[in-house]
């Protein structure tokens, strides 16, 4: 075998090793990025859960604050109606798309 063929074979081996190393590095970087994204999603989910609990407490406070002014059924109906209007408005904004 000639030295040129041997050199070419070594160059191809080195190129293959570099390619494999690059793929491994890409795999590690992707894994780290996915892990970071999952942690961020977990924190966001915990925050959304806390905000939902706070919102429920505010709705309950509104029902209690109206005590003495109207019966419980009317208070619950009023608060539920306000929530329905707010929810419908938010869904409508979401369906229209993001503002530009």
Rounded to two decimals, the pTM is 0.63
- Kindly state whether residue 74 falls inside one of the protein's structural domains: no
DSSP string computed for the chain: --HHHHHHHHHHHHHHHHHHHHHHHHHHHHHHHHHHHHHHHHHHHHHHHHHHHHHHHHHHHHHHHTBTTB-HHHHHHHHHHHHHHHHHHHHHHHHH----
- Kindly state whether residue 77 falls inside one of the protein's structural domains: no
Range of the domain at 44: 1-48
Q: How many domains is the chain built from?
A: 1
Could you list the pLDDT tens digit for every one of the 100 residues in the chain?
Answer: 678 878 888 989 999 999 999 999 999 999 999 999 999 999 999 999 999 999 999 999 999 999 999 999 999 999 999 999 999 999 999 898 766 6
């Amino acid at each position: 075998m000639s030295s040129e063929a041997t050199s070419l074979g070594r160059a191809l081996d080195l190129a293959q090793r570099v390619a494999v190393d690059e793929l491994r590095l890409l795999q590690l970087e992707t894994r780290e990025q996915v892990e970071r994204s999952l942690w961020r999603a977990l924190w966001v989910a915990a925050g959304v859960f806390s905000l939902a609990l706070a919102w429920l407490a505010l709705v309950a406070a509104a029902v209690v604050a109206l005590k003495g002014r109207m019966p419980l059924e009317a208070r619950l109906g009023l608060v539920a109606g306000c929530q329905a209007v707010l929810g419908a408005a938010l869904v409508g904004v979401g369906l229209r798309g993001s503002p530009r």
